[in-house]
Structure 1
């Protein structure tokens, strides 16, 4: 079953949000269905079947400070 997880990610520019988008898009079809990024809000919303912990590990690979905010 899919759920939508929200993360607060320290992103300061398009390059930052692009890096986060790239690592998450690699998982499309492997548990990630949709990725929405709001640079002004520094929020990343991910819909899929992966757990919050799995997604957190993937986002942290970008080197950005990331906090899990909850399920939408």
Structure 2
């Protein structure tokens, strides 16, 4: 999944979702990914890449807390 390529990312992720999932299911997954991955595993100061279930798809896996990662983190 490329950084900034939202169309490609959308199609890649939707291909992984079960066809039976509703919009509510997708919203719950989105929330869990932001909370579970974004806040608990992928913190800017001390990312836990080894425990991340999507590290194989992450361009930043293993980079650590360098300035590049801090700049890459989404605002919010």
- Measured against the shorter chain, the TM-score band is 0.3 to 0.5
Report which of the two has the higher share of strand. Answer: 1
Q: Give the TM-score normalised by structure 1.
A: 0.33
Q: Give the TM-score normalised by structure 2.
A: 0.31
Report which of the two has the higher share of helix. Answer: 2
